[in-house]
């Protein structure tokens, strides 16, 4: 298969992901909806507030009774009661009258504004002085001013964060239609890979990718399904991929440490009926040999076996695919991107995007990024990185103090 495909830029490959679309939806209770993705626009069934409310603690009154009031010449009003919280008041305010009200209290009939308590003073048990005029509707939130009945309050494709769950609660939305969580079949391949609980013999190494990829799938809102370790054997790889296509919405296979392994995976991809190879080789470091295919309308991602490369590529392409399958609209997705300054000179080669594993340190509110180095195959440095620092395809490295984009990992 080698040579058939040109190395593509990360951007070119990302654009090809648009052929995939969101999964079907299901209805869950609001309590279980955290981090799920809305599968429908939410139209408010009610006005909010449903009654005119005070936005301050003070006295509800007729604004015109305060006109001309000042420190020297206060208005005198008769206090005819107090608005109880959570209840409809029977009070109907007449000229020259006021009623005590707390923040959130319902404005009674006849009142058109609220004077803040700070600008009043009790004269006796039934009378107050008001020192400052207010305009009609001052310190009042009117019916529907927050949300209007029939208004779209949240759009399809929006992730439900704590704040969205609060808004849904506010309009009485107890059940929510959300996209299904994508199931992701995960295969580790390579003759040298053994399960973690097994003591490796000389030449063997433990299966790290199973855990890093599963964890990243969970973080991206998917359900990981581990399908086992395949030897570097066409039929064993094919059988596991078939099993993945049956059980899941997307398959990720990591390919041993040897460069040749992903070529074998590519041959297996090709052997399915109607396979479309979307990419084989990206101008990126680490992760150049990455494979992407569409089989039975599902995405299959072949990642380099090196745990660091596999993580970087999954962050960039695996998560993008999961976002598409789970119906996330780009505009409302969570921001995992920030800026950091290079803590030292970081060299790079133009012509490929470079993702450097960095440790972040915060000083005086600025994030500083320090590269975490490790030889190819080393894993200790894997865990010490907090972010991936991006060096653009046309850049030749960063100078100390220069700012660049980081993806928090």
> Which residues between 253 and 272 bind its own copies (CB under 8 A)?
256-260
| Partner residues linked to 369 by β-bridges | 342, 360
Parallel, antiparallel, or unpaired for β 353-363 and 337-342?
Answer: unpaired
Q: Torsion angle of alpha carbons 198, 204, 208, 210, nearest 10°? A: -70
Least Å from the CB of residue 125 to its own copies: 19
Task: Return the residues of window 77-106 that contact its own copies according to CB under 8 A.
Answer: 84-89, 102-106
Task: Return the residues of window 268-307 that contact its own copies according to CB under 8 A.
Answer: 305-307
> Judged by CB under 8 A, which of 111, 292, 342, 387 binds its own copies?
387
Task: Return the residues of window 206-245 that contact its own copies according to CB under 8 A.
Answer: 206-216, 218-219, 232
Beta carbons of 25 and 164 less than 8 angstroms apart: no
Comparison of 219 and 239: residue with beta carbon closer to its own copies: 219
Contacts of 242 (CB under 8 A, 6+ apart): none
Least Å from the CB of residue 150 to its own copies: 14
> Judged by CB under 8 A, which of 21, 203, 274, 394 binds its own copies?
203
Token pair belonging to 3 = 């040579």
Token pair belonging to 91 = 């009070």
Distance CA 388, CA 284 (A): 13
> Judged by CB under 8 A, which of 40, 138, 146, 263 binds its own copies?
146
Stretch binding its own copies (CB under 8 A), from 66-74, 147-155, 234-242, 244-252: 147-155
Q: Is 311 in the site for its own copies (CB under 8 A)?
A: yes
Token pair belonging to 147 = 């949300």
Distance CA 279, CA 266 (A): 10
Q: Is 380 in the site for its own copies (CB under 8 A)?
A: yes
Distance CA 327, CA 38 (A): 8
Least Å from the CB of residue 265 to its own copies: 15
Q: Is 124 in the site for its own copies (CB under 8 A)?
A: no
Distance CA 226, CA 230 (A): 12
Contacts of 102 (CB under 8 A, 6+ apart): 54, 57, 83, 85
Least Å from the CB of residue 391 to its own copies: 12
Beta carbons of 354 and 391 less than 8 angstroms apart: yes
Stretch binding its own copies (CB under 8 A), from 153-161, 243-251, 263-271, 291-299: 153-161
Q: Is 162 in the site for its own copies (CB under 8 A)?
A: yes
Least Å from the CB of residue 219 to its own copies: 7
Site string for its own copies, 178-197 (x = CB under 8 A): ------------xxxxx-xx
Least Å from the CB of residue 316 to its own copies: 14
Q: Residue 376 phi/psi, 5° resolution?
A: -55, 130
> Judged by CB under 8 A, which of 68, 96, 136, 172 binds its own copies?
172
Stretch binding its own copies (CB under 8 A), from 62-70, 241-249, 332-340, 345-353: 332-340
Least Å from the CB of residue 384 to its own copies: 8
Q: Where would I find the H helices in 56-208?
A: 162-170
Q: Residue 408 phi/psi, 5° resolution?
A: -70, 135
Token pair belonging to 144 = 């529907």
Alpha-carbon distances of 180 from 227, 251, 260, 261, 374, rounded to whole Å: 21, 16, 36, 33, 38
Strand stretches in 117-238, DSSP E? 120-124, 127-130, 140-141, 152-154, 175-179, 183-189, 193-194, 205-206, 223-230
Q: Is 3 in the site for its own copies (CB under 8 A)?
A: no
> Judged by CB under 8 A, which of 204, 276, 296, 402 binds its own copies?
204
Least Å from the CB of residue 72 to its own copies: 27
Comparison of 62 and 210: residue with beta carbon closer to its own copies: 210
Site string for its own copies, 16-35 (x = CB under 8 A): --------------xx--x-
Distance CA 77, CA 60 (A): 11
Comparison of 97 and 165: residue with beta carbon closer to its own copies: 165
> Judged by CB under 8 A, which of 338, 347, 351, 401 binds its own copies?
338
Site string for its own copies, 341-360 (x = CB under 8 A): -------------------x
Size of the site for its own copies (CB under 8 A): 105
Parallel, antiparallel, or unpaired for β 276-280 and 291-295?
Answer: antiparallel
Comparison of 56 and 295: residue with beta carbon closer to its own copies: 56
């Amino acid at each position: 298969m080698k040579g058939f495909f040109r190395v593509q830029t990360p951007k070119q490959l990302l654009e090809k992901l648009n052929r995939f679309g969101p999964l079907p939806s299901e209805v869950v209770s609001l309590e279980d909806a955290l981090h799920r993705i809305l599968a429908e626009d939410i139209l408010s069934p009610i006005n909010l507030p449903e009654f005119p409310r005070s936005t301050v603690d003070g006295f509800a009154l007729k604004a015109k009774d305060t006109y001309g009031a000042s420190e020297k010449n206060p208005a005198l009003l008769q206090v005819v009661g107090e608005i109880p919280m959570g209840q409809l008041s029977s009070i109907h305010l007449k000229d020259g009258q006021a009623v005590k009200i707390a923040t959130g209290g319902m404005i009674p009939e006849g009142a058109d504004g609220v004077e803040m308590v700070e600008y009043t003073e009790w004269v006796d048990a039934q009378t107050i002085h008001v020192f400052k005029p207010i305009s009609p509707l001052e310190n009042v939130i009117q019916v529907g001013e927050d949300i209007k009945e029939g208004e779209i309050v949240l759009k399809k494709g929006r992730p439900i964060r704590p704040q969205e769950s609060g808004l849904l609660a506010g309009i009485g939305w107890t059940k929510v239609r959300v996209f299904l969580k994508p199931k992701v079949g995960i295969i580790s391949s390579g003759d040298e890979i053994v399960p973690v609980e097994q003591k490796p013999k000389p030449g063997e190494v433990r299966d790290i990718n199973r855990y890093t990829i599963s964890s990243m799938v969970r973080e991206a809102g998917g359900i990981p399904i581990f399908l086992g370790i395949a030897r570097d054997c066409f039929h064993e790889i094919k059988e596991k991929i078939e099993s993945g296509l049956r059980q899941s919405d997307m398959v990720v296979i990591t390919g041993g440490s040897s460069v040749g392994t992903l070529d074998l995976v590519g041959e297996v991809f090709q052997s399915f009926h109607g396979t479309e190879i979307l990419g084989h080789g990206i101008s990126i470091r680490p992760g150049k040999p990455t494979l992407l295919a569409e089989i039975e309308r599902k995405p299959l991602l072949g990642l380099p076996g090196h745990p660091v490369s596999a993580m970087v590529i999954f962050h960039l392409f695996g998560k993008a695919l999961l976002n598409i399958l789970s119906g996330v609209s780009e505009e409302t997705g969570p921001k995992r991107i920030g800026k950091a300054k290079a803590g030292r000179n970081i060299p790079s080669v133009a012509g490929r995007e470079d993702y450097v594993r960095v440790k972040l340190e915060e000083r005086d509110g600025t994030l500083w990024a320090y590269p975490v180095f490790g030889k190819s195959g080393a894993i200790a440095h894997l865990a010490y990185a907090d972010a991936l620092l991006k060096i653009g395809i046309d850049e030749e490295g960063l100078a100390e103090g220069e700012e660049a984009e980081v993806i928090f990992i």
